[in-house]
A = this chain, B = another copy of it.
Amino acid sequence: MLIESNPGTSVHADAKIQKLAFAIDRLQRRGAIRPLQNVFSKTHPADLAAVLDSMPDGRVAPIFLAVPEAVMAAEALTEVSTRVRDLILAEASIERMVPILEHMPPDELTDLIQSLAPEVADQLMSAMAKGSQAEVEDLLQYAPGTAGGIMTTDFSALPDDVTVQEAIEAVRDREDVEIIFYLYVTDAEGRLTGVISLRQLLLAQPGSLLREVMNSRIIKVQTDTPQETVANLVDKYRLLAVPVVDDDNLLLGVVTVDDVIEVMESETTKEMLRMAGTNESEILTQSPLKIARIRLPWLLAAFVGGLAATGVIQRYESILAEVLALSAFLPVVMGMAGNVGVQSATVAVRGLATGSLQLRHIRSVLFKEFRVGLLLGIFYGLVLGAFGWFVFGSAELGEVVGLTIMVNMTGAAMLAIALPMLFQRLGTDPAIATGPFVTTAIDVLGVLNYFAIATAIIDFAGVPTVTG
Contacts and interface: CB of A to CB of B under 8 A. Distances in A.
Nearest to A218: B8
A79 B310 CA distance: 50
A443 B372 CA distance: 25
Contacts of A314: 325, 328, 392, 468
A180 B240 CA distance: 12
Interface in A27-47: 44, 46
Nearest to A351: B283
A155 interface: no
B277 A239 contact: no
Interface stretch (A58-66, A113-121, A245-253, A336-344): A336-344
Contact of A371 (B288, B298, B346): B288
B180 A265 contact: no
A127 interface: no
Contact of A295 (B296, B343, B368): B343
Contacts of A463: none
Nearest to A204: B172
A445 to B, nearest CB: 12
A141 interface: no
B379 A292 contact: yes
B11 A273 contact: no
Nearest to A199: B180
B335 A10 contact: no
Interface string A212-249: 00111111100000000000011111111000000000
A437 interface: no
A199 B328 contact: no
Interface in A432-462: 439, 443, 447
Contacts of A179: 181, 197, 199, 240
Given A171-B202, A314-B325, A347-B273, A336 B306 contact: yes
Contact of A7 (B219, B271, B384): B219
A157 interface: no
B7 A339 contact: no
B439 A295 contact: no
B265 A265 contact: no
Interface string A174-191: 000001111000000000
Interface in A358-417: 368, 371-372, 375-376, 379-380, 383-384, 387, 392
Q: Which of A220, A272, A273 has the most CB of B within 10 A?
A: A272
A317 interface: yes
Interface stretch (A128-136, A145-153, A158-166, A256-264): A256-264
Contacts of A171: 199, 202
Contacts of A273: 346-347, 350
A205 B11 CA distance: 29
A200 to B, nearest CB: 7
A160 B216 CA distance: 37
A140 interface: no
Nearest to A401: B310
Contact of A265 (B44, B200, B264): B264
A345 B277 CA distance: 12
A4 interface: yes
Contact of A317 (B275, B302, B328, B334): B328
A106 interface: no
A299 B233 CA distance: 38
Nearest to A339: B302
A177 B308 CA distance: 62
Given A179-B240, A214-B8, A198 B195 contact: no
Nearest to A326: B327
A177 to B, nearest CB: 10
Given A199-B198, A307-B387, A2 B240 contact: yes
A125 interface: no
A321 interface: yes
Contacts of A220: 11
23 contacts: A4-B199, A7-B197, A11-B233, A44-B237, A179-B199, A269-B350, A277-B342, A278-B346, A282-B347, A288-B368, A291-B368, A292-B372, A292-B379, A295-B340, A295-B372, A299-B340, A303-B336, A306-B333, A307-B387, A321-B467, A331-B334, A331-B443, A335-B338
Those 3 A-B pairs whose CB atoms lie nearest each other, nearest first: A8-B215, A306-B332, A327-B327
